[in-house]
């Protein structure tokens, strides 16, 4: 019962050996916000702050095994997906949502390309994501390039963000948080469109830093934690954004490239 109160989040994503993104970032974010993180790893990556150097996919049968034993024993209050790599992996998640995960909130971070530019999703799997996975999503959290890939068209900057978010929301039936971190300028915008069509805009000033590796993973997992803990969606998103912005502001400055954020800023030393 105590674990349920904390919020049990099953993360289905790839591993980042550098610790800044992927499963490692997800676990840190969930834990820092008081949730309980469980994992099913879709792929191993050899990466650091300078890029992804290699990827080793996990066989679909073993991914299903990871998911099954966790759900059967511990249970789950929310599911968060990150790097899904290929259509077989996407099908594993769809099967989960149709069976043991039916009725469990699903946060989909549609990871397609690493910050370094490396491809993390087979091009042929985009259709599987759109057609089979997105209809199960409680919340979809694309950045602008991911939104363009999912929509098959350009999003013309801030002026086109709400229309794009609404189009994506119609594809999922759930909510969409379209992130504006790729916009130019000092003032950034995120647009949340709820399942009822209600729109909320989140404005924030850009924090000028190269230490933003794993921000998408971190934000989606932070939101999933709030949902697992029973927060309304708006509250879960607002808390997660505040958490991420402080994590960026207090980034530890590690690595020669795009460094990680400070996931543990909520942890107070005694």
Active site (catalytic) residues: 179, 212, 214-217
**What is the DSSP secondary-structure string of 70-107?**
HHHHT--SEEEE---BSHHHHHHHHHHHHTTTTTS-EE
Q: 113: which 2 tokens?
A: 């390309």
Alpha helices by DSSP H, listed for the chain, are 2-6, 22-32, 60-73, 87-98, 126-128, 144-151, 161-172, 215-228, 233-249
Please name which of 218, 202, 179 lies closest in space to residue 35, comparing C-alpha atoms.
218
Residue 8 CB partners (closer than 8 Å, separation 6+):
35, 36, 38, 74, 75, 76, 77, 78, 228
Take residue 129 and report the two structure tokens written for it: 């994501």
Which tokens go with 189? Answer: 């915008």
């Amino acid at each position: 019962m105590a674990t349920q109160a904390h919020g049990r989040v099953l993360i289905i994503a790839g591993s980042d050996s550098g610790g800044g993104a992927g499963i490692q970032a997800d676990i840190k974010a969930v834990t820092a916000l008081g949730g309980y993180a469980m994992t099913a790893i879709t792929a191993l990556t050899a990466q650091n702050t300078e890029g992804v150097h290699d990827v080793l996919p996990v066989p679909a049968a073993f991914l299903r095994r990871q998911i099954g034993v966790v759900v059967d024993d511990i249970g789950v209050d929310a599911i968060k997906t990150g790097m899904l790599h290929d259509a077989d992996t996407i099908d594993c998640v769809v099967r989960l949502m149709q069976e043991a995960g039916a009725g469990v909130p699903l946060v989909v971070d549609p990871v397609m390309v690493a910050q370094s530019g490396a491809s993390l999703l087979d091009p042929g799997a985009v259709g599987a994501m759109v057609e089979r996975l997105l209809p199960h999503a409680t919340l979809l959290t694309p950045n602008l390039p991911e939104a363009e890939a999912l929509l098959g068209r350009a999003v013309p900057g801030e002026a086109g963000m709400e229309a794009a978010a609404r189009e994506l929301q119609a594809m999922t039936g759930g909510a969409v948080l379209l992130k504006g971190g790729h916009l130019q300028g000092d003032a950034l915008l995120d647009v949340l469109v709820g399942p009822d069509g209600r729109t909320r805009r989140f404005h924030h000033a850009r924090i000028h830093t190269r230490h933003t590796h794993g921000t998408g993973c971190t934000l989606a997992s932070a939101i999933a934690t709030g949902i697992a803990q029973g927060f309304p969606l708006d509250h879960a998103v607002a808390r997660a954004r505040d958490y991420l912005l402080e994590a960026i502001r207090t980034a530890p400055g590690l690595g020669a490239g795009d460094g990680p954020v400070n996931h543990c800023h909520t942890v107070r030393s005694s």
